[in-house]
Amino acid sequence: MHPDSSTGMVSAMSNTAPMVSVIIPTFNRNGMLKDAVDSVLDQEYGNTELIVVDDGSTDATVRMLSAYQNRLRLIRQENRGVSSARNAGIRAAAGTLIALLDSDDLWLPGKLRAQVDYFEAHPEALICQTEEIWIRNGVRVNPGKRHRKEAGDIFERSLAMCLVSPSAVMMRKSLLGEVGLFDESLTACEDYDLWLRIAWKHPVHLIDTPLIIKRGGHADQLSRMPELDKYRIRSICNLLDRGCLSPSQEEASVGMLKTKCAIYAQGCRKRGRDEDALYYDLLAGRYESCGNSRK
């Protein structure tokens, strides 16, 4: 196979049930990826297509996936990052509903059916997620209170940290047409950025049942990257610059921006990066006043 090539796929179609496009981005996770793929193919909801986007893997990923033949579609590209890989899958998707699954996670039985049923019962809903089970280094752990998921207006709570899990999400494809896709310029926190662009305007619905297993502790997790707040700061600034937020949302965003800039600047000073520290001190000051009076 060559980069940007794809293989065919087959799914059990129904005339009435909405089609779900499931997108798995992957990079050198041959071992964990099989569990993720199997958890999708084992779902009882039939009207699906599974798109795996291989972001330039150099391991046995392609050989392993070839055993699935036409049960999935494989898109290959040069290594461009998880945002690019997810976006490639979204652009290729034929479904009206988009479900994401990270290659180190897996779904429990009934996940797709539960979310499709939720959307059919709540036609106003544009995005929903499920609860999740956390596994760290093979051991189940309980999320802390600060990670507790809520339904509805989660924007202000989401400013501190990401409260939506990509693997737990299903969205109407039309929502991504409205807010845009993942920001490919962000090396990390690309999901934090997208959820903020959604949550300032739309409620995030929740199925309060754990239907995914979120596996962590491995060295290549993006959430283990250093300096994550740098990317969150950029996301908050982008939203503030758009001028789309309500007064209360803007006040909360400016407050969180100042907090994150202060913490990040302090870290820069500890590492002798005084010029970077000054930049973030001044950046926070730019948004000292809400509304159009910013400098």
Enter the tokens of residue 240: 């503030």
| SS3 category, 35 | helix
Q: What residues are paired with 51 via a beta bridge?
A: 23, 73
Distance, CA of 37 to CA of 35 (rounded, Å): 6
Distance, CA of 128 to CA of 124 (rounded, Å): 11
- CA 249 from chain center: how many Å? 22
- Helix (H) or strand (E) holding 170, with range, is strand 169-172
**What pLDDT is attached to residue 145?**
78
- CA 283 from chain center: how many Å? 26
Nearest of 81, 77, 89, 9 to residue 47 by alpha carbon: 9
**What pLDDT is attached to residue 218?**
56
**What pLDDT is attached to residue 148?**
83
Using CA atoms in the order 234, 206, 32, 141, what is the torsion angle rounded to 10 degrees?
A: 90
Distance, CA of 244 to CA of 229 (rounded, Å): 22
**What pLDDT is attached to residue 290?**
52
Owner of token pair 């087959």: 10
**What pLDDT is attached to residue 292?**
45
**What pLDDT is attached to residue 220?**
56
**What pLDDT is attached to residue 142?**
82
- CA 22 from chain center: how many Å? 13
**What pLDDT is attached to residue 226?**
57
Strands 48-55 and 97-100: unpaired
Whether the CB-CB separation of 26 and 103 falls below 8 Å is answered with yes
Whether the CB-CB separation of 97 and 19 falls below 8 Å is answered with yes
Owner of token pair 């940007």: 4
pLDDT tens for each residue of the chain, 295 residues long: 433 444 333 333 445 889 999 999 999 999 899 999 999 999 999 899 999 999 999 999 999 999 998 999 999 999 999 999 999 999 999 999 999 999 999 999 999 999 999 999 999 999 999 999 999 888 898 877 778 889 999 999 999 999 999 999 999 999 999 999 999 999 899 999 999 999 999 999 999 999 999 987 655 555 455 589 999 999 999 999 999 999 999 999 999 999 999 999 999 999 999 999 999 999 988 987 654 444 4
**What pLDDT is attached to residue 143?**
76
